[in-house]
Amino acid sequence: MSTERDFDDEREQREWRAQESAVRAERSGARAGGDPDVAQYRLIARALRNPPLDPLPSDFAVRVAARVGRESPSANESVEVWLERALVALLLLAGGAALFVYNGEALREMSFSLPERTALGMQTIASWSIAIAACVGISAVFALPKKP
């Protein structure tokens, strides 16, 4: 990257070489040489290595880590996950109990309420297909990873 091939003009190439020589000299702490072009760029490089920055607070890392610990959703999330699992288990248990108590009567009654397969027109099938595709599409959009 530090070559001068990107510059068409000879003077620009020379200037880029002087700039990069100054960078290398400042990084290595070399003694001042005789090239005044490089020397001027070394003065600029020196200033750029010491910009007037506001000081970083000494306890910054501790504070940020503490804030992350406070705001971390992991504790709440794990409670939610366990609550969700408990509800699903309860639902399955209740379903099993209902089957046991009613001995399949309820299922047979439910099947009577479904429309006959022959009665399902193309329009109904198309409407349900679109609705299902829309649901899947919306869920997929929400499941996409977010940018940091």
Of 5-13, 99-107, 110-118, 134-142, the window that binds other proteins (rule: CB under 8 A) is: 5-13
Look up tokens 């804030």; give the residue.
67
| C-beta of 44 vs 135, nearer to other proteins | 44
Number of Cβ within 10 Å of residue 45's Cβ equals 20
Distance CA(80)–CA(71), nearest Å, equals 16
CA–CA separation, 79 and 69 (whole Å): 16
Cβ neighbours of residue 49 under 8 Å, at least 6 residues apart? Answer: 26
**Which residues between 64 and 103 bind other proteins (CB under 8 A)?**
64-65, 67-68, 71-72, 74
Considering only residues 36-55, where is the footprint of other proteins by CB under 8 A?
Answer: 36-37, 39-54
Q: Is 29 in the site for other proteins (CB under 8 A)?
A: no
Smallest gap from Cβ 9 to other proteins, in A, equals 8
The token pair that represents 54 in the structure block: 């506001």
* 135 binds other proteins per the rule CB under 8 A: no
Q: Which of 3, 8, 43 is nearest to 23 (CA)?
A: 43
Rule CB under 8 A: which residues touch other proteins? 1-2, 6-7, 11-12, 15-16, 19, 23, 26-27, 32, 34, 36-37, 39-54, 56-57, 60-65, 67-68, 71-72, 74, 145-148
